[in-house]
């Protein structure tokens, strides 16, 4: 077991099951964002939580500007954690940009993963007609510009828009605080890797069965994006949630848990049927 990776990525392991379920956080977040969801799976799975280098309580000394200039560097973090713990048959749950990180990792080493669960995925945030990603390039450039000039102001503006649950201001406050606790230089680099990335060509290469959880009224990944991911990803299931905003694991953990459990239960039943017929 590679202790360096485990401390570098602040890895936490718990749960009473044997099959690993690894949770990967989104941009500007950390593993703590999964706290409302993980207890529901702890009896049946071995839960693995981690922070990408540059996020949460990861080892900032391990941050490398080149490595983390693209999502491939984050995919390597995920694979490093899987290798350090010698994981097999991984159920991967990735929020937002981590959905594409999971896709990249699974395309590199498909035999590691049993299922991908992609929460609010987007392979391309910038519109590229006929593809609709939800943003024009100048929107993203403006966002990054604001980030550089007034990082706190940027966080206070963006977090409530992403969360989209105005009646629960504590959720927006937590996301704002999470953004603000990230080093602004590292956050900007991650934002560039996220918002300027284009992973559309990676979707048809996925060989792992996947669930796409699409939120309602999500400004970061609108429904047309979820439908695109489903259309382009072989052996994928699209589930449109009632939960609004971009963080259903925080705003509606019960619906998120139900959707994941229903999918895994159906997948398990289908697997048993296939075995019976083979």
- Higher confidence at residue 223 or residue 3? 223
**What does the alpha-carbon distance between residue 27 and residue 190 come to, in Å, rounded to a whole number?**
7
pLDDT of amino acid 270? 66
| CA dist 41 → 17, 89, 239, 257 (Å) | 9, 16, 19, 8
pLDDT in tens, 171-187: 888 888 888 788 888 88
What band does 96 get if pLDDT is binned at 50, 70 and 90?
very high
Q: Show me where the domains of the chain are located.
A: 3-134+197-277
What band does 271 get if pLDDT is binned at 50, 70 and 90?
low
Contact indicator for 94, 211 with CB cutoff of 8 Å = no
DSSP, collapsed to helix, strand or coil, labels residue 269 as helix
pLDDT of amino acid 241? 97
Provide the 10 A C-beta neighbour count for residue 61. 7
Per the prediction, the chain carries an average pLDDT of: 93
pLDDT of amino acid 277? 47
Catalytic residues: 96, 218, 246
Residue 187, H or E segment: helix 184-195
What band does 12 get if pLDDT is binned at 50, 70 and 90?
very high
pLDDT in tens, 134-150: 999 999 999 899 888 88
**What does the alpha-carbon distance between residue 76 and residue 218 come to, in Å, rounded to a whole number?**
28
Considering the segment(s) 3-134+197-277 as one domain, its CATH architecture is: 3-Layer(aba) Sandwich (3.40)
Provide the 10 A C-beta neighbour count for residue 62. 16
59 pLDDT above the threshold of 60:
yes
User: Considering the entire predicted model, what is its pTM?
Assistant: 0.94
């Amino acid at each position: 077991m590679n202790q360096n990776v485990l401390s570098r990525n602040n890895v936490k392991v718990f749960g009473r099951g044997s099959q690993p379920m690894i949770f990967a956080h989104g941009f500007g977040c950390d593993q703590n964002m999964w706290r409302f969801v993980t207890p529901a799976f702890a009896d049946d799975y071995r839960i693995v939580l981690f922070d990408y280098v540059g996020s949460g309580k990861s080892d900032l000394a391990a941050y490398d500007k080149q490595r983390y200039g693209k999502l491939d560097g984050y995919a390597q973090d995920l694979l490093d954690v899987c290798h350090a713990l010698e994981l097999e048959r991984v159920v991967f749950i990735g929020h937002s940009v981590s959905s594409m990180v999971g896709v990249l990792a699974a395309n590199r080493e498909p035999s590691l993963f049993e299922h991908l669960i992609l929460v609010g995925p987007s392979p391309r945030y910038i519109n590229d007609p006929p593809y609709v990603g939800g943003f024009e390039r100048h929107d993203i450039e403006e966002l990054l510009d604001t980030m550089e000039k007034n990082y706190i102001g940027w966080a206070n503006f963006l977090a409530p828009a992403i969360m989209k649950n105005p009646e629960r201001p504590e959720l927006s406050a937590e996301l704002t605080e999470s953004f603000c606790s990230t080093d602004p230089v590292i956050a900007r680099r991650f934002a560039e890797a996220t918002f300027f990335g284009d992973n559309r060509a990676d979707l048809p290469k996925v060989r792992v069965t996947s669930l796409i959880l699409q939120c309602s009224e999500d400004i970061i990944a609108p429904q047309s994006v979820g439908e695109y991911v489903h259309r382009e990803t072989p052996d994928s299931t699209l589930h449109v949630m009632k939960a609004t905003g971009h963080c259903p694991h925080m705003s509606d953990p019960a619906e998120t848990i139900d959707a994941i459990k229903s999918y895994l239960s159906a997948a398990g039943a289908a697997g048993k049927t296939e075995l019976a017929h083979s």
